[in-house]
Each structure stands twice: as C-alpha cells, then as structure tokens.
Amino acid sequence: MATSRSEPRARPFRRVLVANRGEIAVRVIRAARELGIKTVAVYSELDRNALHVRLADEAYALGGSTAAESYLNTEAILNAIDQSGADGVHPGYGFFSENADFARAITAKGVAFIGPPPAAIDEMGDKVSSRKAALRGGAPIVPGTTEFVTSADEIRAFGAEHGYPLAIKAAFGGGGRGMKVVRSAEEVQEAMDSAQRESKAFFGRDEIYIERYLTWPRHVEVQIVGDQHGNVVWVSTRDCSAQRRHQKLIEEAPSYGMAPGIEEAMGEAAIKAAKAVGYFNAGTVEFIYQDGEFFFLEMNTRLQVEHPVTEAITGLDLVRAQLHVAATGTLPFTQLEVQRHGHAIEARLYAEDAARGFLPQAGTASRVRWPHGPFVRVDRGIEAGDEVTVHYDPMLAKVVAFGPTREAALARLIGALDAVRVHGVVTNLPFLRALARAPEVARAA
C-alpha cells in the first residue's frame, strides 16, 4: 500500500510536547533534554505535581481528572501546543500513541508527530488490515479470517473446518481486551457477545475476527526502526511470554530457546511487514512461536513499554532514534551497526493488590527506594511524596537488569526487586519477587 510521507525537517526540534504522563513521559523528557531540546508537559488536575510535570521545562493544564477529560482531550492538547510553541509532539504509548486522527491533527498544525505516518497507524491499528498487510509483505500469519466476523455461524463454520480452540479477538485494540477463547461450538455465541461488549467498552468499536488459538506459544516481538526513505532495520527480538490475562509481566531481550535461524527470519519478516505499509519511526512487530514455526500476530505502531531491555543489550537509545527520524527523515544507524551483547530482563511494578485479584490501588507514596548499580535501570514515574490514583494506568515503574547471560540478568533482577521499597501504596512487588524466583522462569519454560 502506498502511503504519503511527511517532509523531513531541516533542523532539530526546539521544543517537544509529551502528550502523556507517568514513567513514559519522564523517559521521553529525559531523552529530549539530553539532546538540548526544551520539553513541555501536560497534566490533569490530579497530576498537577507529578514527576513528569516537575521535570519538564514548562507544563500546561489540560483540566479534568479522568483520562477522557484530560490526556484524551484532543482540543486541550492542541491548545497546549499552540500556547507552548512546540514544534514536535511525542505521544509515548497508550492514550493517543496509536490514534491516526490525533497524528493528523498534529501534522495539520505544521507540528511534527514523533511517530509513524497516520496511514500506517490506520492499517496496522485494525488487526484484520494488519493481517492483510503481513500477507502482502510475505510474513506468515496465524490461520484465521482476513475479514470481520459478523455472526456466530461464521465462527462455528471456521471451527468445524479448522478445529478448536479458537480465539475471538477485537479488531481494534490490544492488551488482551476483547479476546475470548472458545473450545467448542456451544461456547461460541456467549464468547462472541462478550468479546464485542468488551471491545466496544474499551476501544469504542465492536468489530471482531477469529484465528486459530495456539495452546502453548511463545510471544516474541521484533523491535524495528524505519526512516522516511523506505529503509527499515530490525534491532532485536524480545520475549514477552510471561503474562497474566494477556497482560505482560516480565519481558526480556533477546528472545531465547528458538530454533537456529528463527530470530533472523522473524527480523526479516518484520521488515517486510513494515515496508508493506510504508512504516517509519520506531515500532514493534509481534509474532507467536510454537513447535519451530512462527506467525505474525500484530504490529504496535509506537514505542513499547518493554523497550528498555532492547536498549540495554544494544546500547541504542530508541527515543533518541525516534526524535532523529522525525527531525531528519533518516535512520541514525544501519543494520550492520546494530550490535547486541548479553541479556536484559524487565519487570513491571504496578499499584495493584495481587492478593485481591490485582485490583488497582491508590494512595501517597510516602517512602520510595529504587535499586542502584551499573547493571540495573529503573524507569519510574513516581518519587517519595507523589500521589497515585486509580484514574490512570497503574504502572509505577519498570525495573530492568542486565547481565552477560540470561542467568546473570535474572539473578540481578531478583536482587533489584528485593531492593525496591514503596510505602503508602500497595503494589505487586511481592508477586514480582515470587515470579522472578519461579522455577518456570528460571528454566524459561
């Protein structure tokens, strides 16, 4: 599919607005400041004194408390762009990061959207269209439909032909929302209705599709970066198989235990899928791997939460790469310049109570202590004294450990998690400590 490409900028950014909050806003602000770029934060009423606001050079109120009233308020963000004079907008992840209309609204003002072209967001944001694009690029896809499914009879017919279990999936969205697994024809109608209700509630759309459900796959993704001249490189694989209800818990790079040549084949397939939609800037192509085979799953047209593990093993700064591509239209490195060393593992720290069904928690982080050391990195959105609310994503920080081997990285992650202290807010820290010590994680089962 041919896509229009925005004109590369003739000069670096002067001022970048970060249309997000929490640890990802902090991450982008720090990368921009290292490059001498002024930063602009936006905030809701509840985030008036948040860490990302304190770190930015200037900040603008969006009003409201909920995400819909603030960080998803396009008009308020556009007003902040006008007031600040920002010449670039970084969306982070979540919120507007994969919203093509938001990207178009930014570029219509003559401001750079530090992300992919809207046409690529459109095509890859719809999972059915992305499956078609993957096929067009020559990437293998999980057997399933390449059109929206509109009736239970269609699903039963597919099940009769291909067998069960099947996955009914929301065509728009991700994170396991709107996904239901059916193991027999009798379960189809209820599962379809539930998937559509959940998809409508979370993404505002209820279109669904179906695909074969692999019972014990590995979830492997490939980090790519492309420029505005059609060049795309793949940086590394990441394994994200440790999940709860399709939400990632522990991620690591590179992926491990795959048959010889599979990682390179995935990288090439990711490049083909990206080129098929004219993709540029940073993105991730996700695959599932089982029994020596891999299949295209979806593409995330944004920076991923787990990008630090890739940075740890390559020495590359992916946010800097995003800024470079958006400013110049060119890649900051070639495929041959991408070198990987060692292994990195990341755990996500959430304000949620694992003992009570992982319910989101709120409170004041009265005391906070983060681990330190040459092989540990913490991307965090809070410090001591900060308020945590249930109105936004409950992720507080990402704890990353690096080592020459997977075993060394895991040992360092365990030590880093043991050193974390967050008082005043219930977190999933005890769960993460137990998970990191689980025999299944140690043996990569």
As annotated, the active-site residues are 302
Q: Strand (E) positions, 1-137?
A: 15-18, 38-43, 58-61, 88-90, 112-113
- In 3D space, the residue among 133, 159, 134 whose CA is nearest the CA of residue 144 turns out to be 159
Do residues 285 and 294 touch, judged by C-beta distance below 8 A? no
Do residues 427 and 354 touch, judged by C-beta distance below 8 A? no
Indicate if the alpha-carbon torsion angle 336, 339, 345, 350 is positive or negative: negative
d(C-alpha 196, C-alpha 205), whole Å: 8
d(C-alpha 285, C-alpha 22), whole Å: 25
Q: What torsion do the CA atoms of 369, 46, 115, 89 make, to the nearest 10 degrees? A: -110
Biggest alpha carbon–alpha carbon distance for the chain: 60
Q: Which two tokens stand for residue 28?
A: 């982008």
Do residues 6 and 326 touch, judged by C-beta distance below 8 A? no
Do residues 118 and 104 touch, judged by C-beta distance below 8 A? yes
Amino acid identity, residue 62?
Answer: L
d(C-alpha 25, C-alpha 428), whole Å: 22
Per-residue H/E/C for 100-166: HHHHHHHHHCCCEECCCCHHHHHHHHEHHHHHHHHHHCCCCECCECCCCECCHHHHHHHHHHHCCCE
Indicate if the alpha-carbon torsion angle 191, 168, 202, 193 is positive or negative: negative
Do residues 12 and 327 touch, judged by C-beta distance below 8 A? yes
Q: Are strands 15-18 and 88-90 parallel, antiparallel or unpaired?
A: parallel
> What is the distance of C-alpha 128 from the center of its chain?
19
d(C-alpha 27, C-alpha 323), whole Å: 13
With a CB cutoff of 8 Å and minimum separation 6, the contacts of 182 are: 155, 159, 164, 165, 166, 167, 168, 188, 191
d(C-alpha 113, C-alpha 325), whole Å: 11
- In 3D space, the residue among 79, 89, 80, 84 whose CA is nearest the CA of residue 112 turns out to be 89
Query: 3-class DSSP state for residue 180?
Result: strand
Do residues 385 and 285 touch, judged by C-beta distance below 8 A? no
